Amino acid sequence: MTAPTVTQGPTTANPDRLETVEELRAELHRANAVVLRLSMHVQDMNAVIGGMGACLTKVLTAHLAGDAEKTIAALDELVAKHVVQAPAQPGGMH
């Protein structure tokens, strides 16, 4: 069984605790900044996923065609564009 993954989402405000227009405006500015940051992150992730999908399509197409040289070239492209190797940790897997 896989361990659960815990992620932290953005902080939210309790609307029932906002008592003044100034508090409401400040919270709206903060929330707008969070929405903008998350929107940009989604766009970045979509670009990465699209690029990986294009590379994987090349790998699979070449493999299905039985073209070993194109498969290797497509795998090399995938690795060059999307794989970052972290330094090996002592005693750990890499």
pLDDT one-digit tens code per residue, 20-43: 999 999 999 999 999 999 999 999
Do residues 78 and 55 lie in contact, with contact meaning Cβ atoms separated by under 8 Å? yes
SS3 content of the chain, % helix, strand, coil (to 5): 65, 0, 35
User: Looking up tokens 């060059």, which residue turns up?
Assistant: 80
Q: Where are the beta strands (DSSP E) in 10-82?
A: none
List pLDDT tens digits, range 58-85.
Answer: 999 999 999 999 999 999 999 999 888 8
Give the contacts of 10 (CB within 8 A, at least 6 positions apart): 34, 38
